[in-house]
């Protein structure tokens, strides 16, 4: 594959990471804790879409190689993820009388409950959406880019969702309230903002985007009960790289981490070509920059960012 | 505490939750004992369960030294457990790709040294971080360790894991041949269902003794450390790190000490596990082990060593109980059921009893301060007069 090919793959994978990281970042800044159940919220979205798609079928026509029924399933996936997240907030997080660390630990329990329920219902094996796999787009193959129409659909939907969120945050009342709350919850409250309601909307938006990300992840790879949890740390890496609490930072971080993840094979070619001395160092780096360590590279970047620039690339003040 | 001196008073002192824990534990033990006598539970398997419970207790002790004492959110328990297990396995196993065939004591030493180095490697960058960042960073680094173990085949045998690990007592003077040397016994407590005590049983009882020694040693060390001036600094850091720093304590150094101490105990659990299971694989570094230890600690009560012990037993009950349930009653896959129970326990504890079942307050009081007869000794003269000051208001 050529550089262009890796970049195209990176773009698609980044779309999924961005969808996940926005929600995680929103919840981190407004509900004020690291939500370890976020990855499993993605899984919930994916499996809800799987069930819906199985029930409604194709519904006639198709766009970008995906039947109409799939888009309906996508909407159901988003809705179910949002409803589950709001119910969890109402039933579990809100009545709790613990600090943000306690909430973090609780969210791990929630993550396990989500995953266990899915695993009991669907088993632990991989499944796929019942969509006919497509061949790569012919016109792009000469450039070494092997992406399918499905990938284009993933990228396009993600861009639409992100633009929608941008409009919501910048130009609507709710968006202004959310930004005010992320900035200073107490001040927002004394200004007459109903912080509880804003928090619920945060969960709806965050979990909805995560649900969409889960559906796309299922389309990009396959579905498994662990899919979300396995991606969670990568999403955390993206959020931290972008700066916790900053939505636009999370977008940038998600984009970068997704790119780095998919570009790892390219980097390993580069490393082999570079004249690194001494030789043992060259061997070491060549061994470490391989596809097996794609995630590990993201985690190391995350730790380095935490140490060197805890506010992330977006820095303080951006929301 | 003073059970031997004055059993009656010691029982009267128990709080309600302590009564509950004591009652449930005794009832549970009786149940297991009856099951064993009637042949429903083989003694060897029972001892295996004791070994597992001891192992989880060790893991929880280690985590308790980090989270319970100092408030470090360490999500890399599985990494230290796995490194301990791999450390000894690589030294002793016949299938080891690098060394193999050494005495398990060498394995123990190597495992502890490797865990020490890893604790420094993980601790140096992450311990300066804010609590929730530490959680994420340590989980990430634990995944890095797992990926390395999974992928560096020349070192760890990769996903095939390591087979042919000897028992811990191989090469010891008497104990190495003890299981074979013991006669096979046949007990018939309930007529018609005899209980056999043969070589595997004696082997398992040796393992049981080993874990009791490990866990007992760790418990004593931790109890002493927790009450010592050193432990008091750790507790201060946990409740208010700025205060500790204002008192002139190098909090980073104290955090590092508690991190290393806890990590070594976790590695000890890994060493025991390797010689109990006789096989280790990359699956043993799965993050679920980390969360098992976390459940044990928060259920028992953060900071409480007794609580950690109790939590370890509960974890084994959940782990093996779901397997048993699957065999006997409900045909549900035990893995997700276990996950569900763990999740429910976490949420329930945080919801109804965030301080845990056995919170540590009472543990931290020196017995002499209580048994002296109620009222504490009052000094003859006030502290201020003795210090010669007093006009600082």
Q: What does the pLDDT look like over A47-58, one tens digit per residue?
A: 999 999 989 877
What is the structure's pLDDT at B369?
Answer: 61
Could you report the per-residue pLDDT of A245-292, keeping only the tens digit for each? 788 889 999 999 999 988 888 888 888 787 777 777 777 787 778 888
Q: Does A104 touch chain B (CB under 8 A)?
A: yes
Distance from CA of A7 to the nearest CA of B (A): 25
Beta bridge partners, A63, equal A66
The distance of B194 to chain A (nearest Cα, Å) reads 39
Which carries the bigger pLDDT value, residue B302 or residue B39?
B302
Q: A296 and B147 in contact by Cβ < 8 A?
A: yes
Closest CA to B272 of B320, B176, B207: B207
Q: How far is CA B177 from CA A311, B172, B181, B265, in A?
A: 60, 8, 6, 28
DSSP letters spanning B230-248: HHHHHHHHHH-HHHHHHTT
Q: Are the beta carbons of B97 and B296 closer than 8 angstroms?
A: no
Answer yes or no: do A307 and B351 touch at CB < 8 A: no
Enclosing H/E stretch for A63: strand A62-63
**Cβ atoms of residues B367 and B2 within 8 Å:** yes
Task: Work out the burial of residue B223: count CB atoms within 10 Å of its CB; fewer than 13 is exposed, 13-18 middle, 19 or more buried.
Answer: middle
Is the confidence metric ipTM above 0.90 for this complex? no
Indicate which of B300, B336, B344 best probes the interface with A, i.e. most A CBs within 10 Å of its own CB. B336
Q: How many beta-carbon pairs below 8 A join chains A and B?
A: 123
3-class secondary-structure state, position B279: coil
Looking at the complex, report in whole angstroms how far the Cα of residue A236 sits from the nearest Cα belonging to chain B.
7
CB-closest option in B147, B343, B351 to A95:
B351
The pLDDT value recorded for residue B373 is 47
**Mean of pLDDT over chain B:** 83
What confidence score (pLDDT) does residue A15 get?
93
Where does residue A273 rank: exposed (0-12), middle (13-18), buried (19+ CB within 10 A)? exposed
pLDDT above 90 as % of chain B? 34
Q: Which among B27, B18, B140, B33 has a CA at the least distance from the CA of B79? A: B140
Residue from B122, B131, B137 whose CB has the most chain A CBs within 10 Å, to mutate: B137
Contact A296 B143 (CB under 8 A): yes
Residue A37 confidence (pLDDT) above 80: yes
User: Which positions in chain A touch B139 (Cβ < 8 Å)?
Assistant: 233
Kindly identify which residue of chain B lies nearest to residue A34, measuring between CA atoms.
Answer: B132
Q: CB of A110 within 8 Å of any CB in chain B?
A: yes
Distance from CA of B125 to the nearest CA of A (A): 7
- B154-188 pLDDT tens trace: 888 888 888 888 888 877 777 777 777 777 776 66
For residue A204, what is the enclosing H or E element? helix A195-220
Res A124 pLDDT > 90: no
Give the per-residue pLDDT at B382.
52
pLDDT recorded at residue A316 = 53
């Amino acid at each position: 594959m050529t550089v262009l090919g890796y970049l195209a793959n990176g773009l698609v994978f980044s779309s999924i990471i961005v969808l996940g990281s926005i929600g995680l970042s929103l919840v981190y800044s407004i509900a004020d804790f690291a939500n370890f159940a976020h990855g499993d919220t993605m899984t919930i979205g994916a499996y809800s879409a799987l069930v819906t798609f199985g029930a409604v079928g194709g519904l006639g026509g198709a766009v970008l190689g995906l039947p109409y029924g799939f888009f309906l399933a996508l909407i159901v996936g988003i809705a179910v993820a949002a409803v589950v997240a709001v119910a969890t907030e109402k039933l579990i997080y809100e009545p709790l009388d613990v600090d943000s660390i306690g909430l973090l630990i609780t969210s791990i329990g929630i993550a396990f409950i989500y995953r266990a329920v899915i695993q009991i219902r669907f088993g632990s094996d991989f499944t796929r959406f019942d969509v006919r796999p497509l061949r790569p787009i012919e016109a792009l193959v000469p450039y070494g880019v092997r992406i399918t129409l499905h990938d284009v659909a993933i990228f396009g939907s993600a861009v639409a969702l992100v633009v929608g969120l941008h409009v919501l945050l910048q130009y609507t009342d709710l968006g202004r309230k959310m930004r005010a709350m992320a900035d200073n919850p107490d001040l927002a409250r004394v200004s007459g903002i109903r912080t509880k309601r804003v928090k619920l909307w945060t969960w709806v938006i965050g979990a909805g985007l995560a649900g969409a990300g889960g559906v796309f992840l299922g389309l990009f790879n396959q579905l498994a009960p662990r899919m979300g949890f396995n991606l969670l740390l990568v999403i955390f890496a993206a959020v931290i790289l972008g700066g916790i609490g900053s939505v636009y930072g999370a977008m940038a971080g998600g984009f970068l981490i997704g790119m780095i993840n998919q570009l790892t094979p390219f980097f390993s070619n580069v490393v082999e070509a570079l004249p690194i001395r001494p030789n043992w160092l060259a061997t070491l780096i060549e061994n470490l920059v391989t596809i097996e360590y794609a995630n590990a590279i993201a985690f190391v970047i995350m730790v380095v960012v935490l140490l060197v620039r805890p506010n992330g690339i977006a820095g303080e003040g951006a929301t | 505490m003073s059970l031997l001196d004055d059993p009656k008073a010691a029982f009267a002192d128990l709080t309600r939750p302590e009564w509950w824990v004591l009652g449930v534990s005794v009832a549970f033990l009786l149940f297991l004992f009856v099951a064993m006598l009637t042949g429903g539970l083989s003694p060897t398997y029972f001892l295996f369960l004791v070994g597992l419970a001891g192992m989880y207790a060790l893991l929880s002790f280690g985590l308790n030294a980090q989270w319970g004492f100092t408030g470090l959110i360490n999500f890399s328990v599985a990494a230290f457990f796995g490194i301990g297990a791999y450390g000894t396995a690589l030294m002793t196993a016949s299938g080891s790709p690098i060394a193999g065939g050494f005495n398990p004591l060498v394995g123990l030493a190597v495992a502890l040294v490797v865990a020490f180095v890893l604790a420094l490697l993980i601790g140096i960058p992450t311990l300066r971080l804010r609590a929730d960042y530490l959680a994420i960073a340590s989980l990430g680094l634990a995944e890095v360790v797992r990926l390395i173990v999974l992928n560096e085949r020349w070192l760890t045998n990769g996903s095939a894991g390591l087979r042919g690990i000897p028992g811990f007592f191989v090469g010891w003077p008497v104990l190495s041949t003890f299981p074979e040397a013991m006669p096979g016994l046949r007990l018939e407590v309930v007529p018609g269902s005899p209980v056999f005590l043969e070589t595997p049983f004696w082997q398992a009882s040796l393992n049981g003794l080993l874990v009791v020694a490990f866990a007992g040693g760790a418990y004593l060390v931790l109890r002493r450390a927790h009450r010592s001036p050193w432990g008091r600094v750790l507790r201060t850091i946990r409740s208010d790190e700025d205060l500790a720093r204002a008192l002139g304590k190098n909090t980073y150094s104290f955090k590092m000490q508690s991190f290393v101490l806890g990590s070594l105990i976790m590695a000890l659990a890994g060493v025991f596990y390797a010689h109990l299971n006789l096989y280790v694989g990359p699956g043993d570094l799965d993050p679920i082990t980390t969360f098992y230890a976390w459940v044990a600690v928060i259920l028992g009560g953060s900071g409480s060593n007794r609580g950690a012990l109790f939590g370890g037993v509960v974890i084994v009950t959940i782990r093996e109980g779901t397997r048993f349930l699957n065999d006997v009653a409900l045909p549900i896959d035990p893995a997700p059921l276990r996950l569900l129970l763990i999740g429910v326990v976490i949420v329930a504890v945080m919801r109804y009893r965030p301080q845990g079942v056995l919170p540590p307050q009472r543990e931290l009081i020196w017995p002499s301060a209580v048994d002296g007869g109620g009222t504490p000794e009052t000094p003859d003269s006030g502290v201020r007069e003795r210090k010669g000051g007093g006009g600082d208001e």
